[in-house]
Chain A
């Protein structure tokens, strides 16, 4: 991708960081959101009074110990989870439920096992983009499948694909409805390290193809992944009633190169910082899991 778009994108982000008030370039605004669930043992508060603003074109990771409510927080943006208190504004509108302006990639791919790869994407496009003609929908499916290099596998059922391929289908599906906001819930958690690494690059490629206009919020528990992909990393406290512990900026220039980046002092600093924020969790609780 050209360097000019990079400059514009970073400039946008820089500007909006300086301006904390709601500007037209704000994609997501989480305002004082609390989510409580009713359980047999009484009310359980997953996240408490969280506020967060994400700019247009920004990639933000939510990171924290399992069960800290990061997926719940993400759910309030997608509209799958209703806040008990507070509100989420996405693209200038209050989130009342899922919508085609927000594409979701689920933790476990969530492909329909009885539909071919092609149909899985087509049905989503057909539902989310009702106004398009049939030919336009087909074109969209074809283009997105080719981008993730799965056109040759379009007639296979999800059960015949590897984990990485399934996740590429899920990502292609989310991109195909052309949402302005992309929500990824631990998208690469189930993949092996090599596949994961390739998927990171694929994701950024798709993001670049769209001139980096899509806003991406991603839930993860992988520090390296968070740094490589994100502009900001939101570290969350342990639940219940989880809050934001700290927001760490990743001031690494794009495009980022996986091999070079690890030797960059900025990368190492950020890595140390995040590790320190999470250290007790990453040593004790992971063993328990």
Chain B
């Protein structure tokens, strides 16, 4: 118990040291550019300004909180739909060599396509830019989950399969009591990678689609509005939220990993 407290204490110290290093470099860059890049302190001022009334919801003047939530919502929908397809498909690919052989080449061709290339296609299909960005998130959050799920399922140990065989498990029982629990840590690895990609892609998508969201905030209010401070604030918010999402899925992954 005490050892754990010390461990946590040290990790706080390390984290603080890292942050200080970042702030130091940032401050140096700010000095070198003669304030073109605002200093941490100046950015803190911009942050406080941005954070006043974060949930203000006027049609012309939406708060940063509203923008963040709208970005998160689109990521959630695209990522959710992608996972809903990727996990069952991963089960099929993992348990059938034939299905794997047929689907794998398709995956290998589509996977390396830049998420941004899907955006115009989504626009052509849906004629609606928010839907197109959801489509983009959906496509690019498919692959990591699909690949990791099928990897997990194809690696179920013979011992576990034998249990199902020996006691005559139904297909449903096999899926819920052996396949799913065994591949769960792999699924969460896939989901974690997917949510990371989705969160990265949403900003780019919103820059293209315009309207609302953090990406639009970076482009419109930051760049077009001539406020580098706002760009920095947005970067910090995007980074922090991305870190929290990653932590959430790491936690889930740990929760569902079993000692054999």
B159 CB–A CB distance under 8 Å: yes
Tally A-B pairs: CB < 8 A: 59
- Contact pick for A112, options B163, B165, B168, CB 8 Å: B163
B21-49: which have CB < 8 Å to A? none
- Contact pick for A114, options B165, B173, B181, CB 8 Å: B181
Nearest-CB distance from A105 to chain B (Å)? 10
Q: Contacts A113-B260, A157-B258 hold; do A99 and B168 have CB atoms under 8 A apart?
A: yes
B160-192: which have CB < 8 Å to A? 160, 162-163, 165-170, 173, 177-178, 181-182
Q: Are B168 and A110 in contact (CB under 8 A)?
A: no
Q: Are A110 and B181 in contact (CB under 8 A)?
A: no
For the complex, what is the distance from the CA of A43 to the CA of B167, rounded to whole Å? 30
Q: Are B260 and A177 in contact (CB under 8 A)?
A: no
Q: Are B259 and A78 in contact (CB under 8 A)?
A: no
Q: Are A98 and B168 in contact (CB under 8 A)?
A: yes
For the complex, what is the distance from the CA of A125 to the CA of B165, rounded to whole Å? 13
How many residues in A have their beta carbons less than 8 Å from beta carbons of B?
A: 25
Interface majority SS (helix, strand, loop, mixed), chain A: loop
Chain B contacts for A110, CB-based, 8 A = 159-160, 162-163
Chain B contacts for A157, CB-based, 8 A = 258-259
How many residues in B have their beta carbons less than 8 Å from beta carbons of A?
A: 18
Chain B contacts for A78, CB-based, 8 A = 166
Chain B contacts for A80, CB-based, 8 A = 162, 165-166
A104-143: which have CB < 8 Å to B? 104, 106, 108, 110-115, 123-124, 126-128
A159 CB–B CB distance under 8 Å: yes
Chain A contacts for B182, CB-based, 8 A = 114
Q: Are A123 and B166 in contact (CB under 8 A)?
A: no
Q: Are B260 and A123 in contact (CB under 8 A)?
A: no
Chain A contacts for B166, CB-based, 8 A = 78, 80, 98, 103-104, 106
Residue of A whose beta carbon sits closest to that of B177: A123
- Contact pick for A106, options B159, B168, B260, CB 8 Å: B159
For the complex, what is the distance from the CA of A106 to the CA of B167, rounded to whole Å? 12
A100 CB–B CB distance under 8 Å: yes
Chain B contacts for A111, CB-based, 8 A = 163
Q: Are A159 and B259 in contact (CB under 8 A)?
A: yes
Chain A contacts for B170, CB-based, 8 A = 127
Chain B contacts for A127, CB-based, 8 A = 167-170, 173
Given A98-B166, A106-B163, A159-B258, 12 more pairs with CB closer than 8 A = A78-B166, A80-B162, A80-B165, A104-B166, A110-B163, A111-B163, A112-B181, A114-B258, A127-B167, A127-B170, A159-B259, A177-B167
Chain B interface (Cβ < 8 Å from any Cβ of A): 159-160, 162-163, 165-170, 173, 177-178, 181-182, 258-260
Q: Sorted from nearest, which 5 A-B pairs have the closest CB atoms?
A: A159-B259, A114-B181, A124-B167, A113-B258, A110-B159
Can you give 5 contacting A-B residue pairs, CB < 8 Å?
A97-B165, A100-B168, A106-B159, A110-B163, A127-B168
